[in-house]
């Protein structure tokens, strides 16, 4: 039976598998036309990986989950790195 993700859970309570599932569900909320291509997403994330603001998947500059931000076409890095 599939485990439901609780809206009231903290991320630390989700476990790694559910964390990845949650990221995927957030991205799926957006229409495909609003999503960045896989190539663009990966290019953005490679920049985040080199950035000192990256902290366990979140951006210390804005508090977002970078994997969600990077996957949405119109979003921008708060420091204009991408
Ligand atoms: S979104 Fe920008 S500031 Fe945040 S981690 Fe990525 S590159 Fe760094």
Domain regions of the chain by residue span:
11-71
Whole-number Å distance between alpha carbons of 13 and 24: 17
Residue 41 Cα to ligand 1 midpoint, Å, equals 13
pTM of the predicted protein model: 0.83
Q: Express each pLDDT in 42-82 by its tens digit.
A: 999 999 999 999 998 889 999 999 999 999 999 999 999 99
Judged against a pLDDT cut of 80, whether residue 1 lies above it is answered with no
Residues having CB closer than 6 A to ligand 1 are 47-48, 51, 53-54, 59, 61, 66, 77-79, 81
In whole numbers, what is the pLDDT of the chain averaged over residues?
Answer: 88
Cβ proximity of 71 and 35 under 8 Å: yes
Nearest C-alpha to atom 6 of ligand 1 is from which residue?
48
Residue 13 Cα to ligand 1 midpoint, Å, equals 25
pLDDT at 46: 95
Distances in Å between the Cα of 81 and the Cα atoms of 1, 47, 52, 64 are 42, 7, 12, 15
């Amino acid at each position: 039976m599939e485990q439901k993700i609780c809206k009231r859970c903290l991320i630390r309570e989700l476990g790694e598998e559910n964390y990845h599932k949650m990221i995927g569900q957030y991205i799926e909320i957006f229409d495909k036309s609003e999503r960045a291509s896989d190539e663009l997403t990966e290019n953005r994330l490679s920049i985040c990986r080199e950035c000192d603001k990256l902290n366990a998947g979140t951006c210390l500059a804005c508090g977002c989950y970078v994997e969600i931000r990077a996957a949405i076409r119109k979003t921008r890095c708060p420091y204009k790195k991408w």
